[in-house]
Amino acid sequence: MSVTYPLGFRAGSVHAGLRTIPAPDLAVIVNDGPDDVVAGVFTTNRVCAAPVQWSRRVTADHKARVVVANAAVANACTGIDGLTDCQCEAEHIAILFGCEPHEVVVASTGVIGERLDMPSTLVGASTAHGVLGRGDDVDASAARAIMTTDTVPKMATVDVGGARFGGIAKGAGMLAPQLATMLVFLTTDAVVDPDEFQDALAKACDVTFSRVDSDACMSTNDTVVAMASGASGANLTGGELTEALTELCAVLARQLVADAEGSRHDVKVAVTGATSTEAAVAVAREVTRSNLVKTAIAGNDPNWGRILAAVGCVPEDVAPFDPDQVDVSINGIEICRAGGIGEDRNLVDMRPREVHIDIELHAGNAEAAVWTNDLTHEYVEENSAYTS
């Protein structure tokens, strides 16, 4: 299960006809209460889609009853018309579900620069309203409805302090810091304070989705929305909320990495011995963004020189360290020691899907890890052939 694992939630998804393949492409998730708390984290891209602009306002009020999400069309770069489409969709949903338009979160993913097919979308929403339910099948269908180039649906559940948490996510490629091209919908039946809930969601995203960087491209539509129904009656502290949402987001983020477009390796770049967490993240991020490192890994080449070259690109004021002190291990073999040649590179086993790059800066005690993928032929194929 996922979004209907917590009490107080129903979901429904349909093939509204937005995409040509006969698969679900529109999902609604409804919060039956008693509470209607919502929190949201969105793309920081200045070019943001109409649904992001709309839903940012909804979540700012901390109050929502319904999430409606579609795949196939992102409703991004569609100007004032796109925003009108969003509002129209929210008004239609509000009538169906007996709430206010400003209690409806709207999310879209797919091709940029095309308008939504509104008749199909509205009819689809009505149909979804008619098939609302709970359980495994309902949740899996909702997770499938928001997929684009994903090959598998992403779902997770967590239990903390007598409350349940569930979530679905979509995203494959375009994973980037400050979120990915990613839609994430989380639910909980905990009783929460709205400000603490928002704060917990922001903290959770910061150490999970924001530390996944598949191709350094930040999308126009990234959306993480969490709803709380209060149906369990379990009062959770801010700390418990942060713990639960972080665990939930970490599981979903790991699933996103595992399904990144055309990847053969999931790569964890862990930096230790940094002067601050920010410095560690900056170094890890630079390595995860190096196409030369990522192609080397695709070729099963433990090329530590390229890793060191990427590390050296981080400005000294961002991450103070002595390049001649840096150690680098790949899958446990320290092939670079003190900035120079270490153990025999032939000892490194590059066959596992998971590749661990450990970078010790010897400059402090802070650490952080960022996940990425290798850069393969299949990535190029998928992104040169698919218009998104």
* 223-228 and 37-42 beta bridge pairing: antiparallel
Residue 352 is a binding residue for a copy of itself (CB under 8 A): no
Residue 310 is a binding residue for a copy of itself (CB under 8 A): yes
Please, which residue, 163 or 296, has the CB nearer to a copy of itself?
A: 296
Please tell me whether residue 62 adopts helix, strand or coil conformation: coil
CA distance 103 to 323: 53
Please, which residue, 190 or 326, has the CB nearer to a copy of itself?
A: 326
Q: How far is CA 65 from the centre of its chain?
A: 22
Q: Which of 2, 50, 8, 7 is nearest to 27 (CA)?
A: 2
Please, which residue, 47 or 95, has the CB nearer to a copy of itself?
A: 47
Are 259 and 220 spatial neighbours (Cβ–Cβ below 8 Å)?
no
Are 26 and 16 spatial neighbours (Cβ–Cβ below 8 Å)?
yes
Of 75-114, binders to a copy of itself (CB under 8 A) are 76-79, 81-82, 111-114
Number of residues that bind a copy of itself (CB under 8 A): 63
Q: Rounded to 10 degrees, what is the CA torsion of 205, 206, 211, 215? A: 70
Element holding 138 (H helix, E strand): helix 136-145
CB 268 → a copy of itself: shortest distance, Å? 19
Residue 290 is a binding residue for a copy of itself (CB under 8 A): yes
Residue 44 falls in the annotated catalytic set: no
Residue 264 main-chain phi, psi, to 5 deg:
-110, -20
Q: Which of 43, 157, 181, 288 is catalytic?
A: 181
CB 108 → a copy of itself: shortest distance, Å? 13
Site map for a copy of itself, 163-192, x if CB under 8 A? ----------xx------------------
Please, which residue, 61 or 349, has the CB nearer to a copy of itself?
A: 349
Task: Compute how many other C-beta atoms are within 10 angstroms of the C-beta atom of residue 344.
Answer: 9
100-133 in b/e form (b: 16+ CB < 10 A) is: ebebbbbbbbbbbebebbeebbbbbbebbbeebe
CB 96 → a copy of itself: shortest distance, Å? 29
Please, which residue, 113 or 239, has the CB nearer to a copy of itself?
A: 113
Question: Which residues define the annotated binding site for substrate?
Answer: 148, 170, 181, 261, 383, 388
Residue 53 is a binding residue for a copy of itself (CB under 8 A): no
- Tokens encoding 236: 């959770």
Residue 216 is a binding residue for a copy of itself (CB under 8 A): yes
Residues with active-site annotation: 181
Q: Which residues bind a copy of itself (CB under 8 A)?
A: 45-48, 74, 76-79, 81-82, 111-114, 173-174, 215-220, 289-292, 295-296, 298-299, 301, 303-306, 308-314, 316, 323-324, 326, 336, 338-341, 375-377, 379-381, 383-385, 387-388
